[in-house]
Structure 1
Amino acid sequence: MRERDHKLREVVGGHNAHDLRDISSRRSESSNDVEQNYVRAHPSYLKTLGQVHSAWIFGAVAELVDNSRDAKATTMEICIDMIYLHNAGKDTPMLSVIDDGRGMTHLEIFRMISLGHEHPDTDDPDHIGRFGVGFKTGAMRLGKDALVLTQTANSRSIAFLSQSLNEGKDNVEIPVVSYCRKGQFMEVDTSVLTETSAKYNLKVIKEFSPFNKYLIGEKVGLFRERGTGTQIYIWNLDEWGSNFCLQWDNGINGGSSFHQGDILIRSRRCRSRTGQMSRTVPLDFSLRSYLEVIFLDPRMKIYIQGSLVRSRPLARTLNKTVVESGNILGKPVLLTLGRCQLELEQANCGIFLYWHGRLIEAYKRVGGMIHNGDKSHGIIGVIDVTQLMNHGDGRVWVHNSKQEFLDSEVYAQLLDWLGEKADEYLDSNFDKLQVAAIINSFDLQRKGNSLYKPDHEWVQCDKCRKWRMLSSGFDSKTLPQEWFCYMKPLNGNCEMPEQKVERGVITVSAKRSGYDTKQSPMKQNDGLFGGSSCRSEGKSMHFLNPDMLRCSGDDDSSWTLEKDVNPVSLKRLKRGPLRGCMKSR
């Protein structure tokens, strides 16, 4: 029996005595005491886990963000600071991820650090964790060593997942120390490990990490302010050449939004996407930009390098919004389409696909977006595919990196449907938006306004985290840095229900196909030449060329022709803009 326990200890590595006895009892109860084989985890497997996010390191950060949201955290802080590493004898950068969630018990943190466990059985639609590998793949991609400090109302645990500790070993060792509350103090939880095991594990942690008893005590002190939560510290960060893969900027305290702290990917390369020509995609190399849109319905406050990330719920920031519903393999889907001024300026477009409220794919080009070039710039779609991608028997059509979908029938049909809806949106609204752009270009010169404003401007309460629609004409730039429901212009309270995204209004009417040459010139409703007409604020206008337009007064709808011109009937032979339109530019 002693030899068998020795073998088991070798298999389970850093597992404590309680777990060892539990495994032994299960083995002795097996029929006829048949010898069982257990797989050993070599330390090189830790590096292999990190390769799940080899293509994009922010996918590793997202795993830690997911865990905080699953823990119902309201506030999360991500920061890189310098810390003295006594083993190396120098200062080294350390990434910290701290939240005020509910924390983890000994069993929960043991499951988190285990190299594989059963998928959680939860019906929570907002729960993201499904695969049991997120923390390991994320932490081991970011750095070689990670320490987790977590506290619930009645317990506290420390876990150390380290490649440095396991270097040269035959099996992975993961030291864990757990405490339970007794009165006003936290003492070693002897129901899960012995005093001897606790002392040994703490000694190992202090030897192979910068966390001595003073630093551990300092970090534990953070729980006095928060009560519960989890702190993750990662060092020996991944390298890029002779420097680190991540580059951090603390920004300027009290500065503008252009001087806020951020964590960047040093290479600043854009990810490769089918049909993408733009090289300006901040989401790909700026953590702040990524976290602005990572959640479909953002509620958690996230700070990067000490400054708050202003969430950007895409569906609430679109212009000329259209909501399309459909049915794919018997499951309903809802797509929000519109034009975004920011993405137009950066020459980006595509669909943002969310699963359990978390962004899985961004700027997914579908339909005509793939080959349409500048015609689709600024067109953004937002869709939640949770029901569609959850198979129902525990399987999901999402890759365990949570950065892409698996190649499956449902995904293929989804892309086809998205392509159809995106093309319909372009066919129905493209020419209208083109005409509106010409009209608004005069506004840009007269008033300095953006070409495409969101249909409605929104602000998030810093207390209840609900989104409030601002009244028409209110200047959102006048709002304070911290805004609450009782402030202007809402003058309400946090108990008021949250408003929903509404359909936008298309103000210009035109067709995208050919001209009807049988109509009289001034009655034709097609194109920019040959007597085009559009309607704005209940009034109609006819024009042949933008240079012939004259605005009367400040009313945007008051447009007349500069002079009378006999229009020429034209026939469009193929799709795309008219050559005459290109000349007018």
Structure 2
Amino acid sequence: MGSLNALDLSSVDTVNQLSPSSQPEALESWESFRQFWKAGNYEVGKRLGSTKQDGKYQLCVHPMFLHSNATSHKWVFGAIAELVDNAIDEVQNGATFVYIDKISNPRDGSPALLIQDDGGGMDREAVRRCMSFGFSDKQSKHAIGQYGNGFKTGCMRLGADVIVFTRNMKNRTLTQSIGLLSYTFLRQMGYERIVVPMVDYEFKSSTNTFGPILEHGKEQFASNLSMLLKWSPYGTEEELLQQFENIGHHGTRMVIYNLWLNNDGAMELDFDSDHEDIYINGHPKICKGGDSTKSSFHQHIANRYHYSLRAYLSILYWRLPQCFNVILRGTIVQHHNIVSDLKFPEIILYKPHQTGNTEVVVVTTIGFVKDAPNLGIEGYCIYHRNRLILPFWLGRKVTTGSVGRGVEGVLEANFVEPTHNKQEFEKTCLFQKLDDRLKQMKDEYWRLHCELIGYKAVRKTGLTPWQDFVVPKRKRSAKSGTGSQQGSNMKRKELTPPETDANHYGKSQPVVKRVENQMEDSRIRILMVENKRLQSKALDLEKQDKELNMKVQQLRIELQNAQHEYTLLLQESRSLPFNWLDYLL
């Protein structure tokens, strides 16, 4: 697979061996299918099925699969997030930014979406795996991607075509590759299998320029290049190669063009409403004006992330790597921590029961929404491996009335697995138990704290105690009785909700005074969790420091080798009959 210049995702045939379908239906007007949810109306030829090669049958991957595979993204921002995830995973290869912007297609002036990072880039084999289905070399537990499908689903959900430019240094060899994944090309040409035109270049130190890699001959290279020039936004090889000037020494640049239209015939992505943001065109949650209460609700991030890419990207990761920026339309996206939106926060530790010996502890921070507890904003932001999967998720809402109103929470649930589009979790027993536990947390928090935001205190008996709460134990009184009955009474007293513990607080104490001890306990728990987080961060920094020291040592060795090689070459040049170096000096 990695040795092909033109990648056929269903067999080892090259482009020259493939012929387009002779079906006239395949050449129908492409413009009539620019709406994403109608673009799957692809006329399948009669020859679609399996092919026989070397006595073995091989299944064909029809171009229609590009569209059907992309329908896993019901939400266009979810597709962009997949591509940003790939850039985040490149932090281990030196990436410091991912850049997202609108550019113009130089062929017809239509809007195109640019996504670029300065990571390690891809060598010839890696870019072919990227263009193929199901390949993934992200085995690290810290990597976000794992299925090898995000690039295809993300790009094809945003537009009909994408061209990829990538530059990589491997084994002291600098290469750059260009690949085209084009639904338009495949449909218009009537292909019945997915073909990806690709060309590769290698840096020649003798000429100080990039030269083509002709592994399969000049004719094969010229065939792939001609398809790139015909179907990409760039009409000459010079324009193609000029794109690498924006990449630098290493990185990847993607241009997604022929962007999809919505059901009303307008472009799905709105680049004009805010020149520092990208909106979803015509989204129903976009504020249309109104009174101040509605305006506060619409301006809250729980509402804005639905239609504003900047708002969504600001909460997409729980923690952004140090020295890494997400840049949207020329302006850095400021990271937004959901915990900072909470008042009267509590820390709850939840230990899910699962098979295996690994003990899992899930830290959940829960509280009321600042300045907007009565606006109906509530829910949990649930992350997986630092990536937001469910934003402001309500779960099963069984209670009625105002119970749970204005309660938000945030947690990282790495013990449950997300679906491949990273917009939901697999509906397993573990996730169902998490759902039940989070609902219980929210209801209990409301009953214990609702009077702090103006609601009548709930004095309900028989409440289920919070088994997972980390509560500092009270000292046993010297006057207390002995025996099992005494221990039982002490345990019940420790778990009594503050509203009903009249003996401890006194009936006539103000509400704020009654919760002072509780807030102090909350602050202690927050400091404990923050201390653990800082310890973990210190360990990560120590590990990074060791890795950087090793890299410095490696670079010093390479520098010494290069200096030694330079000395040898200089001595060799001086031994020549006529020394051009002395002449120039």
- TM-score of the superposed pair, with normalisation by structure 2: 0.63
Q: CA deviation at 1:199?
A: 2.0
Aligned residue type for 2:63: P
1:231-263 Cα deviation digits (max 9, x unpaired): 110111110222101101374xxxxxxxx6111
Greater RCO, 1 or 2 (C-alpha within 8 Å, sep 6+): 2
1:13–1:173 CA contact under 8 A, matched in 2 = no
Q: Which residue of 2 aligns with 1:422?
A: 442
Residues 374, 51 of structure 1: CA spacing in aligned structure 2 closer, same or farther, 3 A cutoff? same
Q: CA deviation at 1:352?
A: 0.9
Partner SS, residue 52 of structure 1: coil
**2:268 corresponds to 1:268:** no
Q: Which residue of 2 aligns with 1:107?
A: 125
Q: Which residue of 2 aligns with 1:461?
A: none
Q: Which residue of 2 aligns with 1:542?
A: none
Q: Which residue of 1 aligns with 2:97?
A: 75
1:195-214 residue pairs with structure 2 within 5 A?
195-212=218-235, 213-214=237-238
- TM-score of the superposed pair, with normalisation by structure 1: 0.63
Partner SS, residue 196 of structure 1: helix
In 2, the alpha carbon distance for the partners of 1:105 and 1:10 equals 18
Q: CA deviation at 1:320?
A: 2.2
In 1, the alpha carbon distance for the partners of 2:54 and 2:103 equals 53
Q: Which residue of 2 aligns with 1:30?
A: none
2:9–2:61 CA contact under 8 A, matched in 1 = no
Q: CA deviation at 1:10?
A: 9.8
Q: CA deviation at 1:190?
A: 4.0
**2:84 corresponds to 1:56:** no
2:179–2:199 CA contact under 8 A, matched in 1 = yes
Q: Which residue of 1 aligns with 2:255?
A: 233
Aligned residue type for 1:383: L
Q: Please list every run of at least 4 consecutive aligned residues from structure 1 whose deviation after the TM superposition is greater than 6 angstroms.
A: 536-539
Higher helix share goes to which structure?
Answer: 2
In 1, the alpha carbon distance for the partners of 2:131 and 2:314 equals 29
Q: CA deviation at 1:264?
A: 0.7
1:404-553 residue pairs with structure 2 within 5 A?
404-434=424-454, 511-512=498-499, 523-524=506-507, 532-535=510-513
Q: CA deviation at 1:152?
A: 1.4
1:18-63 Cα deviation digits (max 9, x unpaired): xxxxxxxxxxxxxxx972211111111111122111x211111111
Partner SS, residue 12 of structure 1: coil
**2:302 corresponds to 1:285:** no
In 2, the alpha carbon distance for the partners of 1:126 and 1:345 equals 38
The equivalent position to 1:186 in structure 2, one of 210, 213, 217, is: 210
1:168-221 Cα deviation digits (max 9, x unpaired): 112111011122333233222345x44332222111011012113343233211
Q: Which residue of 2 aligns with 1:333?
A: 362
1:353-390 Cα deviation digits (max 9, x unpaired): 111110111111146x664555534322111112x12x
Residues 435, 342 of structure 1: CA spacing in aligned structure 2 closer, same or farther, 3 A cutoff? closer
Partner SS, residue 233 of structure 1: strand
Residues 9, 246 of structure 1: CA spacing in aligned structure 2 closer, same or farther, 3 A cutoff? closer
In 1, the alpha carbon distance for the partners of 2:409 and 2:337 equals 12
**2:164 corresponds to 1:148:** yes
**2:375 corresponds to 1:378:** no
Q: Specify every segment of 5 or more residues in structure 1 that has no aligned partner in the other structure, as ranges.
A: 18-32, 252-259, 272-277, 390-396, 438-508, 526-530, 540-585
**2:137 corresponds to 1:120:** yes
Q: CA deviation at 1:317?
A: 4.2
Residues 204, 16 of structure 1: CA spacing in aligned structure 2 closer, same or farther, 3 A cutoff? closer
Q: Which residue of 2 aligns with 1:580?
A: none
Q: Which residue of 2 aligns with 1:94?
A: 112
Aligned residue type for 1:348: I
Aligned residue type for 2:96: T
1:120-139 Cα deviation digits (max 9, x unpaired): 351x2331111111111111
Q: CA RMSD in A?
A: 3.4
Q: Specify every segment of 5 or more residues in structure 2 that has no aligned partner in the other structure, as ranges.
A: 17-52, 287-296, 355-359, 458-495, 518-585
Aligned residue type for 2:58: Y
1:425-467 Cα deviation digits (max 9, x unpaired): 2222222343899xxxxxxxxxxxxxxxxxxxxxxxxxxxxxx
1:43-92 Cα deviation digits (max 9, x unpaired): 11111122111x2111111111011111113211111233233xxxx421
The equivalent position to 1:216 in structure 2, one of 232, 240, 255, is: 240
Residues 523, 41 of structure 1: CA spacing in aligned structure 2 closer, same or farther, 3 A cutoff? closer
1:297-376 residue pairs with structure 2 within 5 A?
297-299=319-321, 300-330=324-354, 331-341=360-370, 344=373, 347-366=376-395, 371-372=399-400, 374-376=402-404
**2:264 corresponds to 1:247:** no
Q: Which residue of 2 aligns with 1:12?
A: 11
Partner SS, residue 376 of structure 2: coil
Residues 261, 377 of structure 1: CA spacing in aligned structure 2 closer, same or farther, 3 A cutoff? farther
Residues 339, 233 of structure 1: CA spacing in aligned structure 2 closer, same or farther, 3 A cutoff? same
Partner SS, residue 125 of structure 2: helix
The answer to which of 333-342 and 302-311 deviates more is 333-342
Paired residues in the alignment total 405
Q: Name the % identity.
A: 24
Aligned residue type for 1:60: A
Q: CA deviation at 1:306?
A: 1.7
1:98–1:229 CA contact under 8 A, matched in 2 = yes
Aligned residue type for 1:336: T
Q: Which residue of 1 aligns with 2:199?
A: 177
1:94–1:237 CA contact under 8 A, matched in 2 = yes
Q: CA deviation at 1:105?
A: 1.1
1:14–1:175 CA contact under 8 A, matched in 2 = no
In 2, the alpha carbon distance for the partners of 1:537 and 1:415 equals 28
Q: Which residue of 2 aligns with 1:27?
A: none
Q: CA deviation at 1:346?
A: 5.2
The answer to which of 300-309 and 399-408 deviates more is 300-309
Residues 34, 160 of structure 1: CA spacing in aligned structure 2 closer, same or farther, 3 A cutoff? closer
Q: Which residue of 2 aligns with 1:22?
A: none
In 1, the alpha carbon distance for the partners of 2:196 and 2:390 equals 34
In 2, the alpha carbon distance for the partners of 1:62 and 1:297 equals 15
Aligned residue type for 1:325: L
1:514-545 Cα deviation digits (max 9, x unpaired): x97xx9xx9525xxxxx754318979xxxxxx
In 2, the alpha carbon distance for the partners of 1:180 and 1:345 equals 62
1:347–1:374 CA contact under 8 A, matched in 2 = no
In 2, the alpha carbon distance for the partners of 1:342 and 1:173 equals 54
**2:185 corresponds to 1:165:** yes
